[in-house]
Structure 1
Amino acid sequence: MNPELTTLDAPFTVAGPSARTLYQDEINPATARLPGLWAGFFAQGMGLQTLHRTGDPTVYGVYSDYESDAQGHYTCTAGVRVWQAPAGLHAVTVPAGRYLVFRGQGPMPQTLVQTWAQVWGYFQGDVPYARAFTVDFEAYTGPDGVAIHIAVHD
């Protein structure tokens, strides 16, 4: 399935807990930090209890602060849209710009893993867009749907 090119016209802010990690650490269950990040987010009911939350019901996974490329360190924030960053939570602004959107539908987390595999596979080939490694994000469109937005150069 080919991704859809879309333009985000306005930036938005997501706030929630975050973790600094590395792709190599995430593929090893013994060193992976993201499963614990998400488990804590849901166990604490952060999606519903985050202060300054907008009316958007979407849950986001935002990837930011890239050290270099897909092999370097990055920060992942599990959160919701806010109109103002609440104290004690990491806030990240998703910038306006062009994104390739990869969609997945099915049981989680398998669907998420498969959709990310599509992302990595897409960028291995000769493609018309290059990843920007600025801010990427997952938008959870329900309990079994995800849209992964990858920032690309203009």
Structure 2
Amino acid sequence: MNLTIIKSVRTNNFKDETIMHKITEMWKEASSILRNQDEVKYGLYYDYESDYKGDYTLSVAIESSDNDSMIKIPNTSKYETFEVDTSDEFGILNAWKEIWGREEKGGLIRAYSFDFEKYYPNGQIEIHIAIK
């Protein structure tokens, strides 16, 4: 899969006091650039310092063949997919808490290469976690 990066931030889930502000502003700026509402959008997580407790880069991206700011995600990666309850305003956060909990219990062995949230035009959201 080839993704073109629209906007990015570097952050940490537990040590960055401005994480929500950074992510909200990144999505606002990206949304002002992305006018096509029928396009699948991605929240791409990569460049991990260590595990989910370390620093990482989060980017808003779209599928593209444009070589500018493009990241190629290898087709060889295996993913486990988590459906987000979009009827819950905390659905994304709750899905991530489930992912972290399963990882802590040894039920999810993450690769920490490229993970992504996939936002469909119909409002559906999936989180794809790269696994070993």
SS in 2 for 1:38: helix
Matching residue of 2:14: 24
Tell me the distance in 1 between the aligned counterparts of 2:89 and 2:59: 17
2:124 aligned with 1:145, yes or no? yes
TM-score by length of 2: 0.84
With over 3 angstroms needed to count, the CA separation of the structure-2 counterparts of 1:21 and 1:108, relative to structure 1, is farther
Matching residue of 2:46: 64
2:86 aligned with 1:119, yes or no? no
2:72 aligned with 1:98, yes or no? no
Contact 1:14–1:60, Cα closer than 8 Å, also in 2: no
Tell me the distance in 1 between the aligned counterparts of 2:81 and 2:35: 23
Tell me the distance in 1 between the aligned counterparts of 2:92 and 2:57: 18
> Gapped runs of 5+ residues in structure 1?
1-10, 50-55
Any runs of at least 4 consecutive aligned residues in structure 1 with deviations exceeding 4 A, and if so which? none
What is the identity, as a one-letter code, of the residue corresponding to 1:110?
F
Tell me the distance in 1 between the aligned counterparts of 2:64 and 2:49: 25
What is the identity, as a one-letter code, of the residue corresponding to 2:49?
E
Q: CA deviation at 1:115?
A: 1.3
1:20-59, CA deviations, whole angstroms, 9 ceiling, x for partnerless residues? 1111245x4x4531111111111x132539xxxxxx8211
Tell me the distance in 1 between the aligned counterparts of 2:3 and 2:123: 23
1:109-139, CA deviations, whole angstroms, 9 ceiling, x for partnerless residues? 5211111111112212132x41011110010
> Gapped runs of 5+ residues in structure 2?
none
Tell me the distance in 1 between the aligned counterparts of 2:15 and 2:28: 17
Give aligned pairs, total: 130
- Report the aligned-residue RMSD: 2.3
Sequence identity percentage: 25
Matching residue of 2:110: 131
